[in-house]
Amino acid sequence: MEKRWVYKDDGDLEIVEQLSRDLNINEYLSKILVQRGITDFDKAKDFFRPSLSQLNDPFLMLNMDKAVNRLTEAVFSQEKILIYGDYDVDGTTSVSLVYLFLRNFTEHIEFYIPDRYTEGYGISEKGINHAIESDVKLIIALDCGIRAIDRAIQAKDAGVDLIICDHHIPGEILPQAYAILDPKQEDCNYTFDELSGCGVGFKLLEGFCQQNTIEKEKLFEYLDLVAVSIGCDLVPIIGENRILSFYGLKKLNQSPSAGLKSLIEISGKKKKFSITDVVFSIGPRINAAGRLTHAKESVNLLIGDSSQTDAFADNLNDRNKERREFDQSITAEALEMIEESDKKKKSTVLFKNDWHKGVIGIVASRCIEHYYRPTIILTESKGKATGSARSVEGFDIHHAISECSDLLDQFGGHTHAAGLTLPLDNVEPFISKFEDVVSNSINPTHLIPKVEIDTEIPLSALTFKTFSVMDQMAPFGPKNMAPVFGTKNAIVDEIPKVIKEKHLKGFVRSIDNKKKYEFIGFGLADKLDQINVGKPFQIAYHLEENNYLGQKSLILNLMDIRIDS
C-alpha cells in the first residue's frame, strides 16, 4: 500500500536553537520538542519530569462536589454501592480501580458488568433491575452512561442514585442522574477533557480523598490500572494522561497489582513494559473475556489476590487464543468480500449475520490495514444488526454515522471509533447512505495512509545519547507518538534479506559515510525490488535499542522506503 510522506514543520529556528543550548541536546531533538509545544526549559522540565503534584484539582470538574458528597455519604452510612462498568479494557479497569479502592472503606460494595450479547453496551435495564433487587442505594457508572436517558429515569424512579463517570461525547439531552462527571459536557470548566473512563473514575476517588483527608498515596497504588486504560483506550498521552501513564507504567514495571503481574508473566515478555506492550500484550487478554464469554472474568482477575490470579490469567489467555482464531477467520472472509465489491468506494460496510460480535471491531481495524477507508463491520444480534466502526486519520466517523441516524436505533463513540445498532431491514439503505456521506465529506488525501515524519536527520546523528533523550519522551501514544525520523541518500552495500516472506532485514549507510546501521522493515518485503546496491533511497523509521545478551545496539525500525526523486 502506497503511503504519503508528510514532514512536520521545523518550528521557530531561534526557539529550537535556544532549547538545544538550554538542554544540551542536538537540534533534531529540540525540533521534535518544539513541535510538541515544549518551547523552553521550564516546559521541558515539566515534560521530562512529570509530577503527580501537577494533577488538576478534581473539584474543577463540573458536579464533582455533588458526586463526592454523595459517595462520602454512601460509604460512611454503610449504604450498598454498585460499581457498574463497560466490558472493554477501559470499563473493566475502571470498575477494578473504584472497587479495589472503596473496598478499603466499606464492605457494602459489589460490581456489575453487562453481558455484551444479552445486554449490550452501556447501562442496561437488567443492570438497574439487579441494583434495585439487591437494595443498592448508589450506582457509580464508569466509562458509560452519558446517553443512558431511560436507565437513569428507571434508577431515579426506584430511588437509586446514579453517578455517571464517562468520557464519551454527550448527546443533546443529559440523563437525569444524581451527578454527571464528564469533562466533555458543556459548562464543564475542567482544563483537560481527554481522560479515559478510568481516568474520570480516578478523579472521583481523588476528590473523595481530598474531602476526607485520605492520603492520596493510597489511591496512587492503583495507577497501573489507570495506565492500562489510557493505553488501551487510545486517549491522547498529553497533560494529565501523560502524568498518570508515566507513574502507572512505573508501578506496572516495579510492583504491579497481582492480576496485572499474572498477565505480564503469561505474556512471556521480560523487558520493561511500554504503552505499546500494554496495548498489544495486556489489553487483548483483558478484552478477550468480554468478547467471548463475560467481562466479569477480567474484573475477577484484576481485583483478585495472588492466590487466584494465575488461574484467572490462564483462563484469559485461553480466551485470547480463541479470540485470535475468530479474528483471523472473519478477517479473511471480510477481505474476500471487499475484493469482490466495488473497490472505488470511499467506505467499507460489511454485514454477515453469523460473524462473532466480540471481534468485529478488531476485524474493522484489520480491514483498514488492507483497504484504507472508514470501515464498519456489522453482524446480527438479538434480531438487529449491530456493528463496530473504525476510521482513518482525519475523518470523524462518529459524525458521519450521526448523518445516518434516521436509519439507526442507537449509536455512540468517538471521532475514530464508534458502535451502532439498526434494524436488519435498514442495513442496505445504511450502506448506501453512509457511502454517500463519506464520499461527499472525506478529503481524498485521508484515503491514503500517512507517514508523518518529525524531522529529517542524518544517520550520523543517531547516537546512544540521541536515543536516550528520545526515550525519555515516553510514554508514547496519541498526540505524543514515538518520533519518526526521515533520512535521504541512504544506500545498501548488500541486498537486504527477506524474512518469513514479509519482512526486510539488512544494513544501511549514508552515501557519504561507511558506518552501517542495522534495520528491520516489518511488512516491507514488497519494497525489495526498489532497493539496488549503491542506489540512493529514502527511509522513514523509528530509532530503537536492541539489547542482546547485555550487548546494546541501535536499530532502525523502518516504516516505509521510497526511491529518491
Q: What is the DSSP letter of 78?
A: T
| pLDDT for 564 | 65
Predicted model pTM? 0.91
| pLDDT for 565 | 58
Long-range contacts of 157-164 (CB under 8 A, 24+ apart): 158/128, 158/131, 158/132, 160/128, 160/131, 160/132, 160/136, 161/70, 161/74, 161/137, 162/138, 163/67, 163/70, 163/71, 163/138, 163/139, 163/204
Give the C-alpha distances (Å, rounded to integers) separating 312 from 220, 224, 300, 391, 556.
Answer: 24, 18, 7, 34, 38
Q: What is the DSSP letter of 143?
A: S
Q: Which residues pair with 553 in a beta bridge?
A: 546
- 3-state SS assignment for residue 271: coil
Evaluate whether 398 touches 413 at the Cβ level (below 8 Å): yes
Place of cell 473475556: 289
Distance (Å, whole) CA 16 – CA 14: 5
Q: What is the pLDDT along the chain (565 residues), one digit of tens a residue?
A: 789 999 999 989 999 999 999 999 999 999 999 999 999 999 999 999 999 999 999 999 999 999 999 999 999 999 999 999 999 999 999 999 999 999 999 999 999 999 988 888 899 999 999 999 999 999 999 999 999 999 999 999 999 999 999 999 898 999 999 999 999 999 999 999 999 999 999 999 999 999 999 999 999 999 999 999 999 998 999 999 999 999 999 999 999 999 999 999 999 887 899 999 999 999 999 988 888 889 999 999 999 998 999 999 999 999 999 888 989 999 999 999 999 988 789 999 999 999 998 899 999 999 999 999 999 999 999 899 999 999 999 999 999 999 999 999 999 888 889 999 999 999 999 999 999 999 999 999 999 999 999 999 999 999 999 999 999 999 999 999 999 999 999 999 999 999 999 999 999 999 999 999 999 999 999 999 989 998 999 999 999 999 888 889 999 999 999 986 5
- 3-state SS assignment for residue 277: helix
Buried b (16+ CB within 10 A) or exposed e, 540-551: bbbbeeeeeeee
CB atoms within 10 A of CB 270: 7
H helix or E strand, kind and range, residue 557: strand 551-563
Distance (Å, whole) CA 539 – CA 62: 48
3's CB contacts (< 8 A; 6+ apart) are 448, 449, 450, 451, 560
Grid cell listed for 374: 472508514
Closest Cα partner for 463 from 447, 485, 488, 441?
485
Distance (Å, whole) CA 352 – CA 511: 53
Distance (Å, whole) CA 443 – CA 452: 17
| pLDDT for 19 | 98
| pLDDT for 284 | 92
Buried b (16+ CB within 10 A) or exposed e, 378-407: bbbbeebbbbbbbbbeebbbbebbbebeeb
Q: 40 — phi, psi (to 5°)?
A: -150, 175
CB atoms within 10 A of CB 4: 11
Distance (Å, whole) CA 259 – CA 305: 7
Give the C-alpha distances (Å, rounded to integers) separating 361 from 27, 37, 394, 409.
Answer: 41, 33, 19, 19
Concatenated DSSP letters for 387-424?
A: EEEE--TT--HHHHHHTTGGG-SEEEE-SSEEEEEEEG
| pLDDT for 535 | 93
Evaluate whether 349 touches 313 at the Cβ level (below 8 Å): no
Q: What is the DSSP letter of 279?
A: I
Distance (Å, whole) CA 448 – CA 443: 10
Place of cell 471521532: 415
| pLDDT for 330 | 96
Distance (Å, whole) CA 548 – CA 553: 8
Q: 416 — phi, psi (to 5°)?
A: -105, -15
Q: Is 49 exposed, middle or buried (0-12, 13-18, 19+ CB in 10 A)?
A: exposed
Evaluate whether 260 touches 282 at the Cβ level (below 8 Å): yes
455-456 and 485-491 strand pairing:
parallel
Q: Is the dihedral of CA 355, 360, 364, 369 positive or negative?
A: negative
Q: Is the preceding peptide bond at 475 cis, omega within 30 degrees of 0?
A: yes
385 Cα distance to chain centroid:
25
